[in-house]
Amino acid sequence: MTEIIVVTSGKGGVGKTTTSANLGTGLAMMGKRVAMLDADIGLRNLDVIVGLENRIVYDLIDVVEGHCRLKQALIKDKRCDTLFLLPAAQTKDKDAVDPEQMQKLCTSLREEEFDYVIIDCPAGIEQGFRNAIAGADRAVVVTTPEVSAVRDADRIIGMLNANGLGSPKLILNRIRPQLVKKGDMMSVEDVSEILAVDVLGIVPDDESIVVCANKGEPAVLSDNSLAGQAYRNIVKRIAGYTVPFLDIEKKSGFMDKLKKMFTK
């Protein structure tokens, strides 16, 4: 059975695409058959984050409009042979597809017997959002511990509920434990309590994410990335395992000690 998960946030720049790339890659690393679908028509980026930008021949719009078969447009990942990407079109805009066509596309993906389909939703609450959620079974909401991002997440959670995607799970991204401790950043508990949703995972603010994005290799592939570890835990939870939350405070304390050792 295929499970279709849409990764959404409302606000832009909180880490939807990075999260989609890491969830997709992480699940594939567990041996699952995964398709990542970039629903950000006109502003595609998932291809660059996973380093497959040079292999694109056909895109989502080509499939929807029948210019090619679904299998032709699915790009096989360089590192995981059970991972595929369906890139967004770069030259069209969000009105080029409608929710009904997206539902059909999701049905076709189910027929390809994927274990998981990860949909990277565009920012905003308009047509692109409605397209991305149309065929999904469940939703993951990404936010950061900032007033603006949490506010938008609240709006998105309301819209997901209204569209039959009740009880979405939360990923809190870019947590900085030192700031939380100092009383200058909202904690995981603060955000989950305000939004009244279950937390799927917490991802610390980690420089390795920048390096990974530069290289086009999701952090989940790198053993010494703290964010990568956080994403590995999240994919295990998605696959049904119980994994305790990453102790980011302890870990970053250790990293700080390491850094001090090298800087001294």
Partner 1 sequence: MFGIFDFMRKSSDSRQVAKDRLKLVLVNDRMNMQLLDNIKYDIIGLMKNYMDIDEDNFYISIVHKANRSTGIKTPMFYANFPIKKIYKS
Residues that bind partner 1 (CB under 8 A): 145-147, 150-151, 154-155, 158, 180, 182-187, 190, 194
Q: Which is nearer to partner 1, 31 or 158 (CB)?
A: 158
CB 49 within 8 A of CB 231: no
Strand partners, 201: 171
Q: Which is nearer to partner 1, 5 or 156 (CB)?
A: 156
> What is the 3-class SS of 73-128, one letter each residue?
HCEECCCCCCEEEECCCCCCCHHHCCHHHHHHHHHHHHHCCCCEEEEECCCCCCHH
Q: Which is nearer to partner 1, 140 or 195 (CB)?
A: 195
Nearest partner of 85 among 26, 16, 24, judged by Cα:
24
CB 141 within 8 A of CB 157: yes
What contacts 78, CB < 8 A, 6 or more positions away? 51, 52
Q: Which is nearer to partner 1, 110 or 151 (CB)?
A: 151
CB 26 within 8 A of CB 234: yes
Rounded least distance, CB 19 to partner 1, Å: 22
Rounded least distance, CB 67 to partner 1, Å: 33
Rounded least distance, CB 147 to partner 1, Å: 5
DSSP letter assigned to residue 50: T
**246: amino acid identity, one letter:** L
Q: Which is nearer to partner 1, 53 or 146 (CB)?
A: 146
Rounded least distance, CB 134 to partner 1, Å: 18
Nearest partner of 200 among 169, 228, 231, judged by Cα:
169
Rounded least distance, CB 184 to partner 1, Å: 5
Q: Which residues of 2-34 are buried (b: 16+ CB within 10 A; e: fewer)?
A: bbbbbbbbbbeebbbbbbbbbbbbbbbbbebbb
Q: Which is nearer to partner 1, 158 or 253 (CB)?
A: 158
